[in-house]
């Protein structure tokens, strides 16, 4: 049985330190320390853990901030041990984080993720219903984590907690595609930026052409967002080979 609850003791915050090492393989200097987590939870940060038989197997951490004059929670970390990633814990932790934010009177949660990771894109857009109107190049710079070996470009997403979500229809092939997935799963330059809706494709699982995909999608996202488009949906093909971001002019 999995229990999700607040993390309040310094000892459990030390466990959060160890989870960061185990999950992301970061150097010691890049571990978010318990001594920083402790005072942040005193002033509105949300730190929650998932426990299996008393053992912490995942956590979510977000701190309060002010964005455009509004108090928000920025969700900085969500980590789950590999052997527990098929048990929907990420979703349960995010829902618990949402409920905790609403209880604080906060109506917006933000975070970042790598737009080349289709599983995270599906989780964020299809399951949670976020939107994105910012793209950051090399957001974290060079880090020690193996997860960042292909750079740290990030989409900044916003979860509007009280927004009534209306899902868009499945993105069709008739819409302009700024980047396409080629036969060898390589990026192929697509259509020019035009119309109220456009598509950016990525491989369902990125196995090769990493640098080319980063460059191609970076150009596509930045040009579209600069032109006033907002990322609103993500769809995965039936054979799971192609993921499609749907962007709509705001």
CB atoms within 10 A of CB 46: 25
pLDDT tens column, 119-159 = 999 999 999 999 999 999 988 876 655 555 667 899 999 99
| Whole-number pLDDT of residue 197 | 96
pLDDT in tens, 4-44: 999 999 999 999 999 999 999 888 989 999 999 999 999 99
State the chain's mean pLDDT as an integer: 93
Q: Please give the angle made by the CA atoms of 78, 55 and 58, to the nearest 5 degrees.
A: 10
62 has a pLDDT exceeding 80: yes
Who's near 76: CB < 8 A, 6+ residues apart?
32, 61, 62, 63, 111
The token pair at 75 is: 């969700």
Residue among 16, 55, 20, 59 nearest 38 (CA): 16
Full strand arrangement of the beta sheet holding 55-67: 2-6, 46-52, 55-67, 70-80, 108-113, 154-160, 131-136, 229-236, 242-249, 197-203, 177-181, 187-189
- Which domains does the chain show, CATH number per domain? 2-160 (3.40.630.30), 177-249 (no CATH)
């Amino acid at each position: 049985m999995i229990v999700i609850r607040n993390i309040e003791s310094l000892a459990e915050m030390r466990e959060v330190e160890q989870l960061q090492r185990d999950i992301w393989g970061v150097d010691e200097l890049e571990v978010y320390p318990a001594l920083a987590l402790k005072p942040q939870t005193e002033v509105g940060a949300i730190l929650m853990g998932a426990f299996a038989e008393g053992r912490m197997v995942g956590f979510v951490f977000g701190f309060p901030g002010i964005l455009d004059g509004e108090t928000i929670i920025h969700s900085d970390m969500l980590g789950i041990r590999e052997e527990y990633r098929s048990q929907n814990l990420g979703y349960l932790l995010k829902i618990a984080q949402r409920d905790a934010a609403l209880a604080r009177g906060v109506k917006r949660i933000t975070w970042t993720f790598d737009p080349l990771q289709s599983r995270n894109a599906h989780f964020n857009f299809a399951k949670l219903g976020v939107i994105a109107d910012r793209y950051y190049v090399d957001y974290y710079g060079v880090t020690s984590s193996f997860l960042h070996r292909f750079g740290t470009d990030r989409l900044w997403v916003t979860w509007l907690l009280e927004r009534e979500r209306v899902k868009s229809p499945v993105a069709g092939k008739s819409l302009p595609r700024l980047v396409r997935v080629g036969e060898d799963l390589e990026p192929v330059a697509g259509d020019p930026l035009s119309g109220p809706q456009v598509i950016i494709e990525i491989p369902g699982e990125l196995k090769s052409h990493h640098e080319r995909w980063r460059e191609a999608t970076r150009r596509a996202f930045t040009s579209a967002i600069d032109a006033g488009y907002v990322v609103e949906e993500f769809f995965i093909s039936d054979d799971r080979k192609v993921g499609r971001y749907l962007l709509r002019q705001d």
